[in-house]
Structure 1
Amino acid sequence: MNLAPYGCDPARSRGRRHEEDPRAQRGPRDSFQRDRDRIIHSVPFRRLRGKTQVFVAPDGDHFRVRLTHSMEVAQIGRAVARALAINEDLTEALCLAHDIGHPPFGHAGEDAIDAAMAPAGGFDHNAHTLRLLTKLETPYPTFDGYNLTWETLEGLAKHNGPVAEPTWALAEVDAGFDLALASWPSLEAQVAALADDIAYDNHDIDDGLRAGLFTLEEVLEVPLVRRCWDEVRARYRDVPVERLTGELVRHQIGVMVNNLLAETRRRVDEVRPHSPDDVRGAGQALAAFSAEMAADERVLKRFLYARMYDAAKVKAVRERAQAVIAALFAAYCDDPARLPEPRRRSSDDATATLRAIGDYVAGMTDRFAIKCYEGLIGPAELPEGF
């Protein structure tokens, strides 16, 4: 396909931080394709299969986890990128990697680690994604991290927009490889961020219905969902209702994607960027929902927070999961020698020790965190079901 002038061209990439031996390059792939493949083959990406999306270590095989969510985001992101004639491979790489820094138990685990690491600057899963991919993982013989291109690291650092006050972890990465944190990111990164919203908005409806946290009648109180449902019912008048919830989710994804495409094209036509740097310097997001869709999406999010994320059953598990992480962190602080040998730091550097513990705990899957807790402290006793 022909790349739009404002799409990121791998032939014009700003490159990688570390020079690589060309003899080690395998296969006819460009730099963004290599980034995507390095992410897919990485250990942190594989660990996402054992990390919470909404439900902690879910008993049900049909619920999403971080890995399946990331794959669904990548499918949506790549489809949007293709329609906009921007770089599909870079968009896919960003979608696949965007949650790699999440700790066990999702946002509950993140809150617990952030509190425990407050004396050392706190914890942020997005910054931890960069830390993992540039420093903590060491799969290559001559440099730390995966040596991803500037465009991939930039997109991961600021796919939600410019970063005015980077956390310590992101500041460390930026100091070693200037990511221009004050500017907007590429259009590929902006699309990846909205693909994430579209994926979890809709798939959480699916998981919430499957888990019995709310009924179809209740979610139809959300105007966007009601409009989409009415269109689905008009198309399948003689099909039983129970056969149509999947179609509702698919149709709503399509409605949101089409809105994103229309609004993004409108903004691009208005700004007329001629290069990726024009996108970065536009002073605003160019990939966006229309004002009406953005308002509708906020209403949907409020419903999901009230009826799913903060549901009593989910909240009970989340609170217990936070206690597990807090107790694990405390146990390692009491005796850092409990950390595996490669993770240990000098005991006279309190900040380095806290960050080493944070790196270790954040890398755990839900079940491994529970196993470590049971080995160090006792039965985890998480409520069943979620």
Structure 2
Amino acid sequence: MTQLARYASDPRQSRGRLHDEARAGSDGTIRGPRDDFQRDRDRIIHSISFRRLRHKTQVFVAPDGDHYRVRLTHSLEVAQIGRTIARALGLNEDLTEALCLAHDIGHPPFGHAGEYALEEALADSGGFDHNAQTIRTLTKLERPYPRWDGLNLTWEMLEGLAKHNGPVARPTWALEEADAAMPLDLESWPSLEAQIASVADDIAYDNHDIDDGIRAGLLSIDQLLTLPFIAERWSAICTRFSDIERDRLIPELIRDQIGLMVNNVIDTTVKRIKDTGIETVDDIRGAGRMIGGFSDDMAINERALKKFMYSNLYNHPEQMEAADRARDVVADLVAAYRDKPELMPESWVVTLPTEEPDRMRHIADFMAGMTDRYASTAHMQIFGSNGEPGYE
């Protein structure tokens, strides 16, 4: 194992799993020379819910082009950035990668549009939150093992997923359930690996969504140049490649931006560790602030970029029109399954609770696991092309 920093998460010091596991397979052989965090990562990669990410919206709803990102490719890109930063800081790369790969598993079909529809549908049943749904999926809904539900991930993995954005003061019902089964110290800050996974997510979608937006024709480089820190980077690139046409320089801009942000996170995190006197994992959790992240100046630039992306891409009229249609699809399906639960697959029907709020939460579990195309097909089968219910 690579030498870890003293403040890194060490699998040998893990707080363990909810269910005790034998170290050997059914035939008595050891299943590979892997530590606990490597096993967590591998369980995510082999899970059904991870595979479904290849057909779930990242930015564009059910994208027609083969080159646009989906939740799966986004998660892989986050993992690459996360591992790079973790390696530079002496953190546990495997735990960082596992958190990056798993962070979007709870997203329903059609991205945030689908999430808004589920939030509304479950307003009287405790609501819906994709982050808590990630943990619910990995601790309850995945069932690859014969003796328990879920993937039986380590405490460090679940803790990182629960609070990678910081302490959770008001957990949702789904997170409360997970915390009751295996207390996750929700009031404290998470490991540095979890903090790095969170900022790696920001770096990935901030920059890769620019790439997809330009490719889709909804953004232009001239629009982006209204942001001074982008304009400065673009000017340097154009000077460096003065003989190359502009369109070929856009990928260079994306790479430069990612590199700039990654280096900023590394330098800033090293400085905060030194300034705060951090030496152990417990010091990270008790620091009272986020240690892994952007400098103050970079954070201002990053927020400006996010604001720009909402104004010019995420809330673009074409995007909003597609999101409205997607929200209607999810809302229609929830209503159909509520009124006629036999429309769901038999395995979901026979396990449907009889009382609320568990009944609606069960339907939401089914909905959240859908891919974009599964939801679209189900909607067509139930409602037809005219959008009217096709059942009596």
TM-score scaled to structure 2, two decimals? 0.95
2:292 aligned partner, one-letter code: A
- 1:206 match: 211
Percentage of pairs with the same residue: 58
Partners of 1:288 and 1:83 in 2: CA distance: 14
Q: Are 1:355 and 2:356 counterparts?
A: no
**Residues 7, 85 of structure 1: 8 Å contact kept:** yes
- What SS does structure 2 have at the residue aligned with 1:23? coil
Q: Are 1:12 and 2:18 counterparts?
A: no
Q: Are 1:162 and 2:146 counterparts?
A: no
- 1:245 match: 250
- Within 5 Å, give how 1:301-340 maps onto structure 2: 301-340=306-345
- What SS does structure 1 have at the residue aligned with 2:219? coil
Match of 2:273 among 243, 257, 268: 268
- Within 5 Å, give how 1:96-175 maps onto structure 2: 96-175=101-180
Partners of 2:354 and 2:40 in 1: CA distance: 38
Partners of 2:322 and 2:24 in 1: CA distance: 50
- 1:298 match: 303
**Residues 224, 300 of structure 1: 8 Å contact kept:** no
2:24 aligned partner, one-letter code: R
Partners of 2:149 and 2:43 in 1: CA distance: 13
Partners of 1:223 and 1:17 in 2: CA distance: 49
1:13 aligned partner, one-letter code: S
1:14 aligned partner, one-letter code: R
- 1:87 match: 92
Partners of 1:201 and 1:228 in 2: CA distance: 15
Match of 1:55 among 47, 57, 60: 60
Superimposed CA distance per residue, residues 99-148 of structure 1 (whole angstroms, 9 cap, x where no aligned partner): 00000000000000111011110100000000000011110111110001
**Residues 135, 144 of structure 1: 8 Å contact kept:** yes
Tell me how far 1:242 sits from its aligned partner: 1.4
Tell me how far 1:220 sits from its aligned partner: 1.2
Match of 1:378 among 378, 381, 384: 384
- What SS does structure 1 have at the residue aligned with 2:226? coil
**Residues 80, 97 of structure 2: 8 Å contact kept:** yes
- What SS does structure 1 have at the residue aligned with 2:370? coil
**Residues 370, 380 of structure 1: 8 Å contact kept:** no
Superimposed CA distance per residue, residues 86-106 of structure 1 (whole angstroms, 9 cap, x where no aligned partner): 000000000000000000000
**Residues 373, 380 of structure 1: 8 Å contact kept:** no
Partners of 1:350 and 1:163 in 2: CA distance: 26
Tell me how far 1:357 sits from its aligned partner: 0.5
Tell me how far 1:288 sits from its aligned partner: 1.5
**Residues 353, 362 of structure 2: 8 Å contact kept:** no
Q: Are 1:31 and 2:36 counterparts?
A: yes
- 2:189 match: 184
**Residues 70, 96 of structure 1: 8 Å contact kept:** yes
- What SS does structure 1 have at the residue aligned with 2:143? coil
1:360 aligned partner, one-letter code: F
2:370 aligned partner, one-letter code: M
Partners of 2:303 and 2:35 in 1: CA distance: 38
- 2:3 match: 2
**Residues 53, 70 of structure 2: 8 Å contact kept:** yes
- 1:384 match: none
**Residues 314, 320 of structure 2: 8 Å contact kept:** yes
Tell me how far 1:175 sits from its aligned partner: 0.2
Alpha carbons of structure 1 residues 380 and 145: separation in structure 2 relative to 1, 3 Å: farther
Instruction: Decide which moves more: 324-333 or 342-351.
Output: 342-351
Tell me how far 1:348 sits from its aligned partner: 3.7
- What SS does structure 2 have at the residue aligned with 1:321? helix
- What SS does structure 2 have at the residue aligned with 1:120? coil
Alpha carbons of structure 1 residues 268 and 347: separation in structure 2 relative to 1, 3 Å: closer
Provide the aligned C-alpha RMSD in A. 1.1
Q: Are 1:364 and 2:365 counterparts?
A: no
TM-score scaled to structure 1, two decimals? 0.97
**Residues 163, 189 of structure 2: 8 Å contact kept:** yes
Partners of 1:175 and 1:276 in 2: CA distance: 23
Superimposed CA distance per residue, residues 177-200 of structure 1 (whole angstroms, 9 cap, x where no aligned partner): 001010000000000000000000
- 1:40 match: 45
Partners of 2:23 and 2:170 in 1: CA distance: 37
Gaps of 5+ in 1: 382-386
